[in-house]
């Protein structure tokens, strides 16, 4: 493992300050399920922004910018920074597609009604988590699809150090690369906060608390466009959504970890919101 010293990391940070929010999957493999096989990650969302209201063929054009994960028929979880400087009315979610090229054909675009944050701090990227509610409910064929919704971790799943997890996204396959149309998966391993700050340095490493996870891939990493997507960790063979892609300094630089928002500390808030307790109380 190559350790960057703090000066070179600080340099990376300054040069790519524009991209600090754009964490990026490199080195992963394209998910390809020929035929009518159920999608491998049916809860995976591509959050897209309308960028051309009407193109030359008379259809609207959308641009993928972040990932997310459906948690029930109405709500998905993503990163808070994904909604910075975005107009909600221009944003929609495409759910469970392995190939975004076909996303427009099947009327599979869901408008977003509202977004909830919990003390998100853009300056230091704390609490980089958001929940978004669709305008119409998403009704997957539950009898055909296993794990149609992402599974929340259990409250006691606080120490995930050493656990291998999947990262999934439509993001760039190299730093500043083109976004993919195909869903890509990769594998990373969660490291301790001490290991994380040994590599990133005290200033750039996330605080030694439970709100973030630090994960390192063997040449596999998240990249811009993957933000908001799930970090899926199998515990006792159950694929839990343990984290949300939050930020990194660059993509796939050997030995440099990326930072994920941990789900466990936010469980009560998430459960409260996605069960629509707030609206009903």
Would you say 8 or 33 has its CB closer to ligand NAG? 33
Would you say 123 or 162 has its CB closer to ligand NAG? 162
Distance CA 33, CA 161 (A): 31
Closest approach of Cβ 122 to ligand NAG, in Å?
Answer: 30
Q: Do residues 78 and 21 lie in contact, with contact meaning Cβ atoms separated by under 8 Å?
A: no
Closest approach of Cβ 247 to ligand NAG, in Å?
Answer: 23
**In sequence order, which residues have a C-beta less than 8 Å from that of residue 217 and are 6 or more positions away?**
27, 167, 186, 187, 188, 189, 252
Would you say 99 or 197 has its CB closer to ligand NAG? 99
Closest approach of Cβ 97 to ligand NAG, in Å?
Answer: 6
From the list 135, 131, 107, 70, the residue with the least C-alpha distance to 277 is 131
Q: Do residues 75 and 131 lie in contact, with contact meaning Cβ atoms separated by under 8 Å?
A: yes
Closest approach of Cβ 32 to ligand NAG, in Å?
Answer: 5
Would you say 42 or 229 has its CB closer to ligand NAG? 42
One of 81, 92, 221, 246 is an active-site residue; which one? 81
Query: For residue 149, with 0-12 CB atoms within 10 Å meaning exposed, 13-18 middle and 19 or more buried, which class applies?
Result: buried
Q: Is 128 annotated in the active site? A: yes
Closest approach of Cβ 96 to ligand NAG, in Å?
Answer: 8
One of 46, 64, 92, 128 is an active-site residue; which one? 128
Q: Is 81 annotated in the active site? A: yes
Would you say 143 or 280 has its CB closer to ligand NAG? 143
H or E element, residue 271? helix 267-274
Distance CA 7, CA 174 (A): 23
Distance CA 275, CA 217 (A): 34
Chain residues binding ligand NAG by CB under 6 A are 30, 32, 97, 99, 101-102, 105-106, 159, 161-162, 181-182
Q: Is 227 annotated in the active site? A: yes
From the list 232, 209, 273, the residue with the least C-alpha distance to 75 is 273
* Catalytic site positions: 81, 128, 227
């Amino acid at each position: 493992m190559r350790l960057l010293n703090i000066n070179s990391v600080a340099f990376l940070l300054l040069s790519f300050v524009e991209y600090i929010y754009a964490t990026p999957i490199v080195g992963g493999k394209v998910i390809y399920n020929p035929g009518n096989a159920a999608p491998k990650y049916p809860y995976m969302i591509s959050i897209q922004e309308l960028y051309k209201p009407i193109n030359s063929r008379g259809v609207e054009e959308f641009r993928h910018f972040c990932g997310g994960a459906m948690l029930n028929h109405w709500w998905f979880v993503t990163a808070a920074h994904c909604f910075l400087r975005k107009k909600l009315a221009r944003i929609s979610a495409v759910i469970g597609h392995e190939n975004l090229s076909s996303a427009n054909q099947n009327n599979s675009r869901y408008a977003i009604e509202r977004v909830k944050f919990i003390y998100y701090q853009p300056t230091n990227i704390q609490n980089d988590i958001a929940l978004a509610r669709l305008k119409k409910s998403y009704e997957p064929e539950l009898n055909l699809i296993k794990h149609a919704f992402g599974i929340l971790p259990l409250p006691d799943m606080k120490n995930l150090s050493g656990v291998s997890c999947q990262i999934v996204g439509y993001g760039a396959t190299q730093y500043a690369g083109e976004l993919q149309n195909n869903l890509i998966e990769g594998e990373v391993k969660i490291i301790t906060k001490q290991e994380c700050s040994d590599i990133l340095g005290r200033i750039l490493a996330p605080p030694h608390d439970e709100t973030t996870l630090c994960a390192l891939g063997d040449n596999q990493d998240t990249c811009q466009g993957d933000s908001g997507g799930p970090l899926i960790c199998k515990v006792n063979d159950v694929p839990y959504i343990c984290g949300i892609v939050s930020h990194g300094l660059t993509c796939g630089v050997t030995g440099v970890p990326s930072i994920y928002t941990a789900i466990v500390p936010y469980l009560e808030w998430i459960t409260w919101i996605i069960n629509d307790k707030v609206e009903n109380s």
